[in-house]
Amino acid sequence: MQIDWLTVAAQIINFLVLVWLLKHFLYAPVTAAMARREARIAERVTAAREREDAAERERGRLHARMDRLEERRDAVLEQAREEAEREKQRLLDEARAEVDDKREHWHQQLRDEQRAFLKQLRRRTTEGFADLARKALSDLADVGLEDRMVATLGAWLDNLDEDERQAFRSSRELVVSTGFALDDNRRGRLGELVRAHFGADKHPDFEHDPALVCGIALTAGGRRLAWSLADYLDNFERTLAEHLDQHPGERTDTASNTEPESERQADAATG
């Protein structure tokens, strides 16, 4: 069989032309379209991943924010509790201070009343005791209380030791103080006593001193001879005060029943 090489060549050429045409007009557009589709798919996948990553980051940020808010809430609650505790303590301290102030004021009132009572008792006792002493001396010895005090001063001067006598004698100013008014007769007697013991040139000054309760005193410089019912009354007052301190119920039972209602309520609040 004889081969027609021209026909074979023509067919080969036709095939190559067909392949080129298919490749140029069919395969190339198809592969390009597939490449573009794959590129779009890849872009969408990348965008989806980026969105997913962004969403994950946002979720992490939100979680971190929630954690911070939780911590802040706990801190705010703790601060509120601390402030409430401080305010409670402040109110309690103010209540206790107010109660202490009222109690101290109440006790001060009791002390003032006690001092007023002792002062009044002292005055009345002094007056009564002085009147009683005058009457007793007048009835028993026919001697006035003032005259007896003058005589007592004379007895003291008689019993002075030499050092004390010299101290009074060397003083330029002698003062005789009495808790009662002196008449001329008693002034003269007191002056004679002073001159008899300390020298003829001594002329004492006289003054009325109400603090000397029914008493008499001789003062020269820093030395002083004195007698007064106040000395006895001071001892009596100290004894009475000690008795009141040792038996507080006798003087506070009534007062405790009249304790202000506000103080009792404050005591209960701070108890």
Model pLDDT for residues 155-189, shown as the tens digit of each residue: 888 888 888 888 888 887 888 888 777 788 888 88
Is pLDDT of 202 > 50? yes
Is pLDDT of 84 > 70? yes
What burial class does residue 216 get, using C-beta atoms within 10 Å of its C-beta: 0-12 exposed, 13-18 middle, 19+ buried? buried
pTM: 0.38
Q: Under DSSP, is residue 258 helix (H, G, I), strand (E, B) or coil?
A: coil
pLDDT-based confidence at residue 252 (cuts at 50, 70, 90) = very low
Least confident span in 18-32, 79-93, 232-246: 232-246
pLDDT at 146: 76
pLDDT cut 70: percent of the chain above it: 75
pLDDT at 261: 43
- HSE toward the beta carbon, residue 61, CA cutoff 13 A: 6
- Segment 252-270 mean pLDDT: 41
What burial class does residue 14 get, using C-beta atoms within 10 Å of its C-beta: 0-12 exposed, 13-18 middle, 19+ buried? exposed
Q: Residue type for 80, please?
A: A
Is pLDDT of 142 > 70? no
The helix-helix angle for 184-198 and 145-158 (nearest 10°) equals 0
**C-alpha closest to that of 255 among 54, 109, 73:** 109
Domain ranges of the chain: 1-107+240-271, 119-239
pLDDT at 132: 65
**C-alpha closest to that of 122 among 237, 216, 211:** 237
pLDDT-based confidence at residue 2 (cuts at 50, 70, 90) = low
- Mean pLDDT, rounded, of the chain: 77
> Phi-psi region for residue 224, left (φ > 0), alpha (ψ -120 to 50) or beta?
beta
